Amino acid sequence: MTEKNRFKTFSITLISVWLILLVLVPTLMVLAVSLMTSNTPGEISPVFTLNNYKAIRDPLFLQVLADSFEMAFVTTALCLLIGYPFAYNLSKYRGKFKSLLLVLIIIPFWTSSLIRTYAIIIIIKTNGVLNGALMALGIIDEPLRLMYTETAVLVGMVYSLLPFMILPLYAVLEKLDGKLIEAAKDLGAGRMRTFWHVVLPLSMPGVIAGSMLVFLPTLCLFYISDVLGGAKSLLIGNFIRNQFLLTRNWPMGAAASMILTVIMFVIIYIYYRSTKKTGGEAI
């Protein structure tokens, strides 16, 4: 066996063991707990039951699930609207500050997302930076009430997840063949027509990948809605956290976790199929 094959075998074995121990086994444990019975808070009885999954049909949980998907969809749409122009212009930029701009996008990953969420409070609170600036400019007469609202949660989500949209888009747009754009212009296509018929279709793998990287985490980032929404915006991540830590109904929390896992698996499968149809590669 050559050195290259030995390294390949070692890498595959290491990754396989990692996935089995830290992904497959914990998931099976959560599945097992979801099929058990909760007698008293914090106590689990190894009695098989499907009641935890039947309880998922409760209108309260369905409303939480609908609110979570709505928040995830709006967050993804805003990140796409903000991130696409930025990634496109950055991919076309040939100045000496291009590397610096890329570093500025990556810098947020060097800091805890929770810390950055608390930093938003300084900006949007009643006597914060935003209200102070708007009142100083005479745009508003009294402070805007932004904290503990869905708007604050949305701002926090977009702020935290925007880099996950920009980077896949930039990776695709950077490799875009400029000759195709020139050919479209030679054939008489204007800027908008070139964008809609050439640039956007070719960048769809990046759009889909970025949307996935934003949409899925939005369903689980419970601490953002806790900190900025004051626990008024109950998302699926908050519901699962509450079941485990507050009501201590572990089987119910495990059942909700499995439902979320299945939903994510379906979305990832759709993403996989869509990348094959667009002829792109998964980012």
CB 27 within 8 A of CB 261: yes
Domains of the chain and CATH, by start = 59-113+145-247+256-277 (1.10.3720.10)
Cα distance between residue 68 and residue 219, in whole Å: 6
Cα distance between residue 122 and residue 209, in whole Å: 32
Backbone angles phi, psi at 44, to 5 degrees: -120, 130
CB 180 within 8 A of CB 260: no
**What are residue 44's DSSP bridge partners?**
38
CB 68 within 8 A of CB 219: yes
Give the position of tokens 């400029």: 178
Backbone angles phi, psi at 144, to 5 degrees: -80, 140
Q: Taking the model in full, what pTM does it have?
A: 0.84
Summarised one tens digit per residue, pLDDT across range 90-109 is 988 887 888 888 888 888 88
- For the chain, 283 residues long, give each residue's pLDDT as a single digit of tens: 576 778 888 888 999 999 999 989 999 999 999 999 887 777 888 888 898 998 888 888 889 899 999 999 999 999 999 999 999 999 888 878 888 888 888 888 888 888 888 889 999 888 889 889 988 888 888 888 888 888 899 999 999 999 999 999 999 999 887 788 888 877 787 778 888 888 888 888 899 889 999 998 998 888 898 888 876 677 888 899 889 888 889 999 999 999 999 988 888 888 777 766 655 544 4
